[in-house]
Structure 1
Amino acid sequence: MKTLAAITLISLPLLISAQHYVMDPFTGVKAGSVFSIVLYQGNTYEVLLETDSTLVPDIGIKVKDNLLEFEYTGSVRNLERITAHVTAPQYLLLNGSSASSFKTEVPLNTPSLKLVGSGATSFTLEIETELLTSEFSGATNATLSGMASVHQLKASGASQLKAFELATVTTEVNISGASSAKVDASSVLTGHVSGVSTLGVKATPDTQTVELSGLSSIVDADNKVVTQSQVLSDTVRVRVGSREVTIVDGDDVTTRRIPKVRSFRKNWAGFELGINGLMTPDHSINLPSELGYLDLRYEKSVAVNLNLYQQNLALMGDVLGLYTGIGLGWNNYRLPNNILLVKGSHELEHIVPDTDLPYKNKLTMMMVNVPLMLELQTRSHSEFSKFHLAAGVNLGVRLSSHTKQVYKLDGKKDKVKTHEDFYINPFRYDLQARMGWGKINFFASYSLNSLFRDGKGPEVYPFSIGLRILNFD
């Protein structure tokens, strides 16, 4: 890479720097963070970078495997967009992530083009190509126009495609989640649409074979429903002892009793509900202003525990003993509606999406829990008057994590899930205390390690409080 010129423009209160680079040959562009890429076609390989001059040392531009890559290693908090004007003879791949954007000033003419978008990436492109391949996820938003003989589309999450102005002969779709796609195919339209996704068809093609499932639908150019599928249930049922517990997405729960002969009742095994929270290193639930994107709605931050199996070890008859076991936990953290958590290249990031704000936004983790507790019980002829007190530790192993946003679009609820680790610690070490009388049992836990890995996210410590609703015996 050779730098040809560097021009600094004074524009109070910022110093805007225009850096001009001549690059090695490339056929694709990859950008993340908040890069805004403007594409041109020409006989040279050039980049004109426009940004605050103080940001230039944190910006990396390189060509690797025919791919022009943009990287920003500084903090993205309160960061304005970094604009890059890119010139190349042709483009075969455009890959965007986080809050990056791509747009054209003139039509791009290329034999084939692949678009890859994740996070809150946006594309505004006019193209002329034989084969267009689009892979969109997260909250990607694409507006396409021009011509393509064949368009192969895969859209998931809450991605949106507006392509009524992109004339195609054949369009193949695979649309899931809460995605929306508007296409124009003159000859053939095939594929599958699932979830609560919507496929808009500008005009009926000669051949249309599209399979629908979930709450998906096909609409015409006036947004009138042409075909709609039936509801599919996404429900998990767990039977433990005399109870069957049904859980939908970790916080919608129903139970029913299954008649059976009662077995020995234990104080840990059961179904629990509680409230999740986050503390600062100073043990305060009042997070500093810079962590406002983690300011929880506590009444909606639900903890759900299924303590499936308990094994006791008596130390002093029925008075003192140890117990361990294994269970599952869902920790829901209800986040502010105006942010989107993103796993950046180096640390956890949060952005404000360009799309409509959800009315429900949460981070959910599924954990395997293994306790080791010392419990004291009092003797009584009545099970309901027995007092018990326990203290110990709990090891939690994260099985999965995802964010979920719920939108209301055209009167329907659209759910968007992004499965990612978000730099969350894979293990959690909790101090735990429990007390109760008979079937009534209260619990409180506090994590000894931060929710996020060191240097990858804010230092906050999870805690939860709650009570057992059902015992499994």
Structure 2
Amino acid sequence: MKMLTILTSLLCAHVATAAINPADSLIIRFGKASRVAIYAPTKGQLKEITKYDLNRIVNDMVSKLDSVPEGQVYAVNEQNGKRYLRDTLIVVEKTDGNVTVTVKTGESSDNTNSYSNQPSDRKTRRNRNYSSNNWRVSTDFHFGLNTWTGATSTPRYNGASYELDPLGSRYAALSFTQNPAIVRNSKLKISIRYGLQIAWNNFMFQENVKVERGPDVVAFATYPSHLTKSKLTVCNLELPFVPQFSVYNNSRKRAFNIGFGGFVGYRLDSYTKIKLDNGDKFHDHNSFYLNNLQYGLQGNIGIANLNFFVKYNLNNSFQDGRGPAVRPLSFGITI
């Protein structure tokens, strides 16, 4: 093996400069205090390190460390490739009891990348990033369709009078949620999603009817002239609470997720809108004997970046005895 060459202060300055742009690293700990850190410019070159005989490198270098002053850097440059790959520079530095091995490949010294081992700083940065992602507020938009489930007809009501247009009855919501992890590793995450959500349920009627508030009950009255549009819109402020289970691929991107939980909400507003053939529009803001308190179940499922949701109210839209016994069912996509 060629003689070891003591790198001058110029090499030390280069190592310090390279520390500004840290590379990918592999840190091997032995016991409580000893560790070996291996650095490479890219992940690909870090994987290429498996082609080196690291046992021979460590044996060659450790045998020389007893005579090395603290902070001094030694290097081995093998040209014939018997022990190490051809045109490979191995730099070993001992500082405060730590041994750092830096691998440089290629013809230009510009590819050399090394920096001092500071595990506490690296751990602090990882914890800071984890904490930031764990409590980050997400803004999501939900778009889908509505329908009513339950009795097709109830006393005083003909089910056909409040039959909905399946494509015209739309759902929209805006949510601000957090999703802190309970269990998390590189492959899976178990978390709880919660926050605030504003939801609009639009119920578009097929028949030529208008929703009206009567003295005791809500009425679906036939309108005297033809309507091009007639709908009832209910706006709720909701609190979702959904346990989530997520699976990640080797690139640490979410491959699959599923969640199931519930929500509770309060009615903020409700109104009807009708549109005549001549284009005239009329709105009527009223409670229409709707239940102010809304609650139910909701779930979601996602594959990669494609996410679907479903919501089902456990209580009726209208107060008991004042309207048909129907419950909203909403489903669609989340973006």
Q: Same fold (TM over 0.5)?
A: yes
Q: Partner of 1:338 in structure 2? A: 208
Q: Partner of 2:300 in structure 1? A: 434
In the alignment, structure 1 residue 313 sits paired with structure 2 residue 180: yes
2:217 to 335, 347, 352: 347
Q: Deviations over 1:363-388 (max 9, x none)?
A: 10111121011000113244655211
Q: Partner of 2:275 in structure 1? A: 406
In the alignment, structure 1 residue 457 sits paired with structure 2 residue 333: no
CA contact (8 A) 1:342 1:351 kept: yes
In the alignment, structure 1 residue 291 sits paired with structure 2 residue 159: yes
In the alignment, structure 1 residue 273 sits paired with structure 2 residue 143: yes
The alignment-based identity, stated in percent, is: 28
Q: Partner of 2:86 in structure 1? A: none
Give me the whole-angstrom Cα distance separating, in 1, the residues matched to 2:267 and 2:286: 12
Give me the whole-angstrom Cα distance separating, in 2, the residues matched to 1:382 and 1:396: 38
Give me the whole-angstrom Cα distance separating, in 1, the residues matched to 2:263 and 2:332: 15
Q: CA deviation at 1:339?
A: 1.1
Q: CA deviation at 1:438?
A: 2.9
1:375 to 223, 237, 244: 244
Paired letter, 1:295: E
Give me the whole-angstrom Cα distance separating, in 2, the residues matched to 1:418 and 1:401: 9
Unpaired segments ≥5 residues, structure 1: 1-262
Q: Partner of 1:417 in structure 2? A: 283
Q: Deviations over 1:411-450 (max 9, x none)?
A: xx21111101101111111111111023211111111000
Larger RCO (CA within 8 A; separation ≥ 6): 2
CA contact (8 A) 1:278 1:460 kept: yes
CA contact (8 A) 1:276 1:333 kept: yes
Aligned residues: 198
- 3-state SS of paired residue (2:322): coil
CA contact (8 A) 1:384 1:437 kept: no
Q: Deviations over 1:185-226 (max 9, x none)?
A: xxxxxxxxxxxxxxxxxxxxxxxxxxxxxxxxxxxxxxxxxx
- 3-state SS of paired residue (2:226): coil
Q: Deviations over 1:321-347 (max 9, x none)?
A: 112011211110001341121111111
**Richer in helix (by share):** 2
CA contact (8 A) 1:287 1:295 kept: no
Give the TM-score normalised by structure 1: 0.40
Paired letter, 1:300: G
Q: Partner of 1:396 in structure 2? A: 265
Give me the whole-angstrom Cα distance separating, in 2, the residues matched to 1:331 and 1:298: 13
Q: Deviations over 1:120-146 (max 9, x none)?
A: xxxxxxxxxxxxxxxxxxxxxxxxxxx
CA contact (8 A) 1:267 1:439 kept: no
Unpaired segments ≥5 residues, structure 2: 1-131
Specify the structure having the higher radius of gyration (Cα). Answer: 2
Q: 1:415 to 1:383 in 2, by over 3 A?
A: farther
Give me the whole-angstrom Cα distance separating, in 1, the residues matched to 2:243 and 2:196: 16
Q: 1:269 to 1:381 in 2, by over 3 A?
A: farther
- 3-state SS of paired residue (1:429): strand
Q: CA deviation at 1:287?
A: 5.5
Give me the whole-angstrom Cα distance separating, in 2, the residues matched to 1:382 and 1:294: 50
**Richer in strand (by share):** 1
Question: Aligned runs of 1:151-162 on 2, under 5 Å?
Answer: none
CA contact (8 A) 2:226 2:277 kept: no
Q: Partner of 1:192 in structure 2? A: none
Pairwise CA RMSD of aligned residues?
Answer: 2.3
